Amino acid sequence: GWCPLSPTGAQTTQLLVEPPWRPAVLWDRVTLTCQGSGTTGATTWYKRWGQQGRDSFTVIQSGTYTCGRPSSGLSPPIRVSNDQLVLQVLARALLEGDMVTLRCRG
C-alpha cells in the first residue's frame, strides 16, 4: 500500500460523514466530504478504483471509502453498510466516562 508522509503539523486529509452516525448505513442517504489541503476539485475517491472529481458526493453503494488530496495524503477509511439492523453512536472522539447516546435502527 501507499503510506503518505507529511511534515510535523501538516494538515491531514479527513473524511466527513453526514449524517454523523457510525456505522454509516446506505439507507441514511450518506454524504461523504473530503477535506484537506491542496487544490479544490483535486480529490481522488477510492472504493475499488480511483475516481477523481468533486470534494463530496452521496453514497449509492455500500463499501469502504477513502479519499486523497495531493498535499495531505489519504483519509482514514469509512465503511458504509447496508445492514438491516444497526446500533449507532454519534461520530466524535470518546473518552472513558463520557455519556454516549446509542440508537438502534432498522
CATH assignment of the domain containing 66: 2.60.40
Does the reported pTM lie above 0.75? no
Cβ-contact 94, 101 below 8 angstroms: no
82, part of any domain: yes
DSSP string, the chain: -------TTPPPPEEEEES-EESEEGGG--EEEEE-SS-TT-EEEESSSEEEE-SEEE--S-EEEEEEETTTEEPPPEEEE--SSEEEEESS---TT----EEEE-
Domain that holds residue 97: 14-105
Rounded Cα distance between 61 and 30, Å, is 10
9, part of any domain: no
7, part of any domain: no
4, part of any domain: no
Asked if pLDDT for residue 87 goes beyond 70, the answer is yes
pLDDT at 51: 63
Asked if pLDDT for residue 78 goes beyond 50, the answer is yes
Domain count for the chain: 1
**pLDDT tens figures, 7-53:** 444 568 888 899 999 899 999 899 998 887 766 667 888 875 556 66
